[in-house]
Amino acid sequence: MRDDDILIGSLLEDSWLTLEQVAAACAVETEWLRRHIEEGLFPHAESVSGVWRFSTAGLARARRMRQLERDFDAVPELAALVADLLEEMDAMRARLGRY
């Protein structure tokens, strides 16, 4: 799978994705996600009965972090920090749009 072939679509807000599904959607190995989870870079990922699950926000975060690491050769911690800032900006824009 090429980088340009990343699956794009819309997900229901309340749906959950497995570690394998997020890895496939981001074109990364499951080990990439596991390392990032172990380093605390996916604060909203949940382990239920030993199975990791991600919300749609977690999928968006994974895609952003992967893109930042790939495009800018960013270390995972920097990619996570930038993802945090982008998520905060998105939330602020959404609040501003409601006013």
**What confidence score (pLDDT) does residue 33 get?**
96
pLDDT of residue 44: 85
Q: Which of 7-16, 25-34, 44-53, 77-86 has the lowest mean pLDDT?
A: 7-16
pTM: 0.81
Cα 44 to Cα 54: distance, rounded to the nearest angstrom: 7
Domains and CATH numbers, the chain: 3-98 (1.10.1660.10)
Going from the C-alpha of 23 to that of each of 35, 92, 95, the distances in angstroms are 12, 28, 30
Tell me the CB-side half-sphere exposure of residue 8, using CA atoms within 13 A: 4
pLDDT tens per residue, range 23-71: 999 999 999 999 999 999 999 899 999 999 999 999 999 999 999 999 9
CA distances from 69 to 4, 50, 65, 95 (A): 16, 27, 6, 29
Tokens of 61: 């975060």
Q: Give the Cβ contact number of residue 50 at 10 Å.
A: 5
